[in-house]
Amino acid sequence: MKIPEEYLGDVMSDLNTRRGRIQGMEANGPFQVIKAQVPQAELYRYSTSLRSMTQGRGLHVARPSHYEAMPRHVQDTLMAERGELEEA
């Protein structure tokens, strides 16, 4: 993703809440280019969030990278939701 430098803190914080792993950052003029791995499930409506955080000046590209086991607490939440749906 490419964002103006003044929004770096907000975007990094948001990526962390989305279970993102920062792979690297580099300067590109007044912008910062961030490379990160974020679970696909956490990227729902991310472009809208990024535009809000950066006043419409942030860009991102999402590509599938790999599969990985989900954290236990996320798995427990999904299983509980599924159980509630099956009971209804």
Domains of the chain are 2-87 (3.30.70.240)
User: Collapsing DSSP states into helix, strand and coil, what is residue 35?
Assistant: strand
Q: pTM of the entire structure?
A: 0.80
**Model pLDDT for residues 15-41, shown as the tens digit of each residue:** 999 999 999 999 999 999 999 999 998
Distance (Å, whole) CA 66 – CA 72: 18
User: Collapsing DSSP states into helix, strand and coil, what is residue 24?
Assistant: strand
Flag whether pLDDT at 87 surpasses 80: no
Flag whether pLDDT at 88 surpasses 60: no
Distance (Å, whole) CA 1 – CA 73: 28
